Amino acid sequence: MSARVQIVLQGSMDHLRLVWQTGECLLQMVPFRGDAEGTRHSVLLAVQEMVTNVLRHAHGGDEELPITVNFRVDEFGCEIAIEDLGAEFDPSDAPLPQLSDSAMPTEPGGFGILIARMVMDQVEHRRVGQRNVLSMRKSVRSAVEADAMGG
């Protein structure tokens, strides 16, 4: 079974709940291995962080600018693409925050990108016209399993 859902958000950050609930429903269809619920929660957290970054940083709090969130799920995993009209920004080039020995952040900011990189199997940015498109993928199989099976 597979599903595709597109959400176009315009307005306050209250819409983040809609993204979470939609993703939560769709990710139930993905048969993640191991701690499936934990994996689903981590994916949702990564999506939430990236949408929040768009609202706060790319759009500078301008709630009139649209954000498009595309979900695609199937038995192999999920792909989430987030599109915005902000200035070009590639999160894979962003410096990551440093964690201290206490594992508590010493400075605010940057942890959304860190979370996305840690949780997702793939995080890619591309510029399409005037839009940033951030694509994140999470496979049902772990990277080790995929390598052992040749992809």
Query: Residues 32-68: pLDDT tens digits?
Result: 999 999 999 999 999 999 998 898 888 888 888 999 9
Closest CA to 132 of 44, 47, 54, 46: 54
Question: What range defines the domain where residue 27 resides?
Answer: 3-148
Q: Which residue carries 């010493």 as its tokens?
A: 106
How many separate domains does the chain show? Answer: 1
Summarize pLDDT for 98-150 with one digit per residue, the tens: 666 555 554 555 688 888 999 999 999 999 999 999 999 999 976 555 555 55
Kindly report the pTM of this predicted structure: 0.85
Report the distance separating Cα 66 and Cα 83, nearest Å: 8
Sheet arrangement for strand 122-128: 3-9, 67-74, 77-84, 131-139, 122-128
Token pair for 33: 């291995």
- What CATH number did the domain enclosing 70 receive? 3.30.565.10
Token representation of residue 44: 């949702």
